[in-house]
Structure formats: C-alpha cells, structure tokens
Structure 1
C-alpha cells in the first residue's frame, strides 16, 4: 500500500528515473519496502541506480548508548582500583 502511494507520487512529479535513494530506519519492514521499491523502479522505469540507505542516526544512538554503559563500568572499575590502591591494608592483602 505504501509503495503504491509512493510510486504514484514519483510518477506525478516525474522522478521515476531520477530517484537515487530512500533513507529509512533499520526496521525489517523498511528493508522490505526498500527492496520492493527498488524492484518496481527497475522493472517499470529501468532505474537501476536506486538504493536504500540506512538512517545512520539510529546506529549512532545505539553506539552512544553502548558507550555510556561502558563508561559506567569503566568508572566503577576505576573507582574500585583507586580505592584499593589508596587503602594500604587492602593493597597489601591483594599483593599476597
């Protein structure tokens, strides 16, 4: 349904051979939509240049979230080692 509406607009504006890419999120349905749209553009309009581009913002947000989790773990490990290093009895016990 969405693809047919998009194709209708592409035809209306005369973009069928000029459309180069679709930027969409990384969900499975958008992957399927991108492949379907590419297939239609190729078969009906001989547009072989079209491709789907993943919306990198999602990827960058996932990386950022992962880094923040690691930052917390690294901070805790740093605090722990600092505590041990500055506590002479603990430090001596660990050396044994």
Structure 2
C-alpha cells in the first residue's frame, strides 16, 4: 500500500519541460497516428456513404477522398498542437 502511494506520488509530481514534451512526439509518430485513425474513420465514412447512397462505387470514391484530405489535416493539426504549451 505504501509502495503504491509512493508510485502515485512520483507519477503525479513528475514535471517535464516544454522542450522535453515537444521532442517526445516526432513527426513520424504523427504520421502513424494519422494513418491508423484515418483507416478507422474511412471505414466509417465508407459504411455511412454506402448506407446513404446504396452504391459501393460512390461510397468508395467518397471514402477515398475523405481518407487523403483528413489524413493531411490531422497531421498538421497534431503538429500545431504539439507546439502549444498550454496543458503540458
């Protein structure tokens, strides 16, 4: 019990600098996160588009465009937030 409290105290009081936090998220990690999230999001878009249109070709077209544009937007969104000091 005492050990658990010591570990929790250590985690709760751990302070990092802005430079350490900023360096912890590399651009390649942002790319990997963007791709994995877009796969999930694109499957959602594909299913919703198919349900609404009833046409797999149209749904695939919509999902493909959605995949590319939102992955690019997500990457830049992540990089901008990585530079913001607030909340770190």
Higher relative contact order (CA 8 A, sep 6+): 2
When normalised by structure 1's length, the TM-score is 0.31
Task: Mark the structure with the bigger radius of gyration.
Answer: 1
Which of the pair is proportionally richer in strand? 1
Which of the pair is proportionally richer in helix? 2
